Structure 1
Amino acid sequence: MARGGQGLARVAVVVRAGAAPLWWLGVLAAGIGVLVPGVTGRRIGVLAGAGLFVVAAAVVGYARRKRYTALARGAARAGKYDVLQDRAVTVRTWRRGHRWWLLAAFAAALAGSFAVPAAGGMLLAGTGTGLRLKAAWLGRRERADEALLWVRVDWLARGGAPAGKPVKGYRSTGIAAGDAAPGGARRRTAELV
């Protein structure tokens, strides 16, 4: 980067990047899993899956909130030469880096359907929902603080998680910076004008 600047990715976008693939792979695995009678039967499988969905969404949605809060509280202002990564680039990079994990989770959910139909798929979908809830929580925090949170790309490359051990701190910008709204969603055209 020029003159000591860093490449920065939005924290909420990184969190949200896994939500859609996990949700859709979970729904697909659960749909296929319902077709298999399994050891426990469909009714027990679906009920167990519903419980796993709720638990996974809650656990993933609330996990590491203290760490995110501490990093956000100590966020330094982004520098003049820092490069803000586009939302699409951040999402694409995360999904490419985790594609084998996503496929392995999908395969495990399908294989689990022979024992407990649909439960593995609903667990995956719950994980995706939890990531979406965490991104929404980050978005509410960003709106309240009127500052978007960013993490260095090189720290993400080492650990993959926006609140992992390699991450030493966040950077912040004004609420209008970048091409993603608070919470990591795409900005609407009206917001850009």
Structure 2
Amino acid sequence: MGRGAYGLARVAVIVRAPVGWLWWSGVLAAGIGALPPGAAGRRIGVLAGIAGGLITAYVVWAARRRRWRALLGAAERAGRAVVLQDRAVTLRAWRRAHRRWLLLALPVAVASSFVLPVAGGLLLCGAALGLWAKARWLGRWEREHEALLWVRTEAAAGGGAAGRTVPGLHTTGLAAGDAAPGGARRPRRRARSGSARR
């Protein structure tokens, strides 16, 4: 990428990366899981799944909150010699790196239905909702501070956007990149790519 240059990926996009996969896997697993009566019965399975899904959503949303706040408070302006990774590239890279456990989530959730029907699928849906809510939280921060959050690609590869390998976050203007605040796809007419805007 040139001397002194480095790649950056959007933080919120990394957080959102597994949401769709987990959500639809959870919906499918819950539907399949409603077929067998299960050892505990459908009613208990559904109630346990709802409670477990809500708890999972909260735990995922609140996970590493102190670490996140420290990173947000110390975020620095990105330099000019950076390459901003496209949203689609970030999603594809994250899913490729974690495809094993993403593919394993569905059969495990379905298998759990023989004990607690539907519950496994609702847990996956809860995890998806928690990550979606965290991305929305990051999006609110970005709008309030009029800055988008980025992380070095090689640092995030080790453990996510707030992992131990991440020394800090970087910021750019709201127009940089092709993803809106919160990591959602930006409307094409407003899309931007290339180097960071100061």
Calculate the aligned-residue CA RMSD, in Å: 1.2
Provide, for residues 116-159 of structure 1, a one-character-per-residue CA deviation record: whole Å limited to 9, x for no partner: 00101100110011000000000000000111110000112222
Task: Say yes or no: does 1:14 pair with 2:18.
Answer: no
* CA-CA distance at 1:192 after TM superposition: 3.8
Aligned partners of 2:61 and 2:130 also within 8 Å:
yes
1:129-144 matched pairs, under 5 angstroms: 129-144=129-144
Higher helix share: 1
Task: Say yes or no: does 1:57 pair with 2:57.
Answer: yes
* CA-CA distance at 1:189 after TM superposition: 3.4
Provide, for residues 5-48 of structure 1, a one-character-per-residue CA deviation record: whole Å limited to 9, x for no partner: 11100000000011110111011111100011100111111111
Cα distance in 1 for residues equivalent to 2:106 and 2:191: 37
Cα distance in 2 for residues equivalent to 1:163 and 1:15: 9
Question: What is the total number of aligned residue pairs between the two structures?
Answer: 192
Letter in 2 for 1:140: R
Provide, for residues 35-84 of structure 1, a one-character-per-residue CA deviation record: whole Å limited to 9, x for no partner: 11100111111111111111111111111122112111111111111100
Which runs of 5 or more structure 2 residues have no equivalent in the other structure? 193-198
- For 1:151, what is the secondary structure of its paired residue? strand
Task: Say yes or no: does 1:170 pair with 2:169.
Answer: yes
Cα distance in 2 for residues equivalent to 1:81 and 1:144: 26
Cα distance in 1 for residues equivalent to 2:109 and 2:146: 40
Q: Which residue of 2 aligns with 1:180?
A: 179
Q: Percent identity?
A: 60
- For 1:3, what is the secondary structure of its paired residue? coil
* CA-CA distance at 1:190 after TM superposition: 4.8
- For 1:185, what is the secondary structure of its paired residue? coil
- For 2:98, what is the secondary structure of its paired residue? helix
Stretches of 4+ moved more than 2 A in 1?
189-193
Task: Say yes or no: does 1:106 pair with 2:106.
Answer: yes
Q: Which residue of 1 aligns with 2:97?
A: 97
Q: Which residue of 1 aligns with 2:195?
A: none
Task: Say yes or no: does 1:84 pair with 2:81.
Answer: no
Q: Which residue of 2 aligns with 1:154?
A: 154
